[in-house]
Structure formats: C-alpha cells, structure tokens
C-alpha cells in the first residue's frame, strides 16, 4: 500500500496494528515509523477507483493510506483503541 505522511512524503509501506501503535515500514526506503494510537484524532475512508483511501487525522497532521480493503484497517485501529 502507499502512504502519504504528515509532511507529504509518499512511500510504499507495510502496516502492523499493535496494542499501542500502528507500525509503518518501508523496506524499499529502509524506513520505519510509529503512529501512537493515542495521537489518532479521526479516521475516514473514501473509495477512489479500485482502492480505498484511509485518512487518519493525527495530532501531528493527516496520514493517508491507499489500499484494497481500508475498512479492515479502520476496524483493527478502532479495536485497539477501545
């Protein structure tokens, strides 16, 4: 999936939703990021062509992920935040 982060950088990433954070990893760019679930303010999903566009508003700015099934990602984040 692709990610556009708070500063506008776009990269291919893998996501892992854990108890306290969403871990974002880009092997191609040798980059890792951690989004604390406590920093998530709002989650939104929109359909764009064949992909879902998931926008996460955080305390530091929006992060957008483009993926096939965005609802699963939103559900996983909401379960961990509960």
Domain range annotation of the chain: 2-81
pLDDT digits (tens, 9 = 90+) for 35-74: 999 999 999 999 999 999 999 999 999 999 999 999 999 9
SS3 47: strand
Residue 28: the pLDDT is: 86
For range 14-41, the mean pLDDT: 95
CATH number listed for the domain at residues 2-81: 2.30.29.30
Residue 3: the pLDDT is: 97
Residue 23: the pLDDT is: 97
The contacts of residue 75 (CB under 8 Å, 6+ apart) are: none
Residue 29: the pLDDT is: 87
pLDDT band with cut points at 50, 70 and 90 for residue 19: very high
CA triple 73-75-76, angle to 5 deg: 65
Residue 82: the pLDDT is: 83
């Amino acid at each position: 999936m692709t990610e556009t982060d708070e500063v506008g950088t776009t990269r291919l990433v893998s996501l892992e939703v854990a108890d306290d954070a969403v871990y974002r990893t880009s092997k191609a760019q040798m980059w890792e990021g951690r989004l604390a679930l406590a920093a998530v303010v709002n989650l939104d999903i929109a359909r764009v062509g064949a992909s879902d566009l998931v926008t996460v508003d955080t305390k530091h700015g929006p992060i957008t992920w483009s993926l096939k099934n965005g609802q699963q990602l939103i559900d996983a984040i909401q379960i961990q935040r509960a």
